[in-house]
Structure 1
């Protein structure tokens, strides 16, 4: 499963990415999880399954949906509470549920 987290500069999600990778490893799950600034997402679309948008940049949702949904990539806003508490396991579960929806 390939997951992209999008924020404004790609920095604020780095700790969450680390926690999500740890949660995936604990589950024995094969997952690639990376953070991207919105400006670099277009060049990183190959093989993505899910794009999760940081709650602080939810205003980008419409543009991101227009970019990725035609490619069959699922999109959602990261749960604000899980993002703020850096709960990688919960955000990973959000991505899994989204992919399977």
Structure 2
């Protein structure tokens, strides 16, 4: 499974990608996770199975979804509190939930639960 985490400049997506990669590794899953930007997305989409979109890019979600759909890539909007997921477990759950549903969506498939 190849996961791409997208943000505006690539900084915050790097942290999320590292955390989800670590969480997957700890569970024995053969997942790769990398970071990207909106600018690199047209090229990066060819090398991923799922795109996790930073919450600050919600306005770009429809365009990302259209581009991803042509390649059969899942798209998930990350919840606003994704950066508090320090061990990557909730983000990994979003990936697994998306894949379990087997649907391609430009809208959040799962969102964080309010406490």
SS of aligned partner of 1:80: coil
The answer to whether the 8 A contact 1:15-1:86 is kept is: no
Q: Hey, which of these two has a bigger chunk of helix by percent?
A: 1
Q: Is the 8 A contact 1:68 1:74 kept in 2?
A: yes
User: Aligned residues, how many?
Assistant: 100
TM-superposed CA distance for 1:100, in Å, is: 2.2
The answer to whether 1:46 aligns with 2:20 is no
Structure 1 stretches of 4+ with a deviation exceeding 4 A read none
The answer to whether 1:86 aligns with 2:72 is no
Report what 1:24 is aligned to.
24
Larger relative contact order (C-alpha < 8 A, sep ≥ 6)? 1
Conserved 8 A contact 1:49-1:99? no
Residue in structure 1 matched with residue 10 of structure 2 by the alignment: 10
1:10-69 CA-to-partner distances (Å, cap 9, x unmatched) read 111211211111101110000110110111011112242111100011111011011011
CA distance in 2, matches of 1:66, 1:22: 29
> How far has the Cα of 1:79 moved from its partner?
1.8
**TM-score when normalising by structure 1:** 0.91
8 Å CA contact 1:17, 1:34 repeated in 2: yes
The Cα of 1:94 is off from its aligned counterpart by: 0.2
RMSD, aligned CA: 1.2
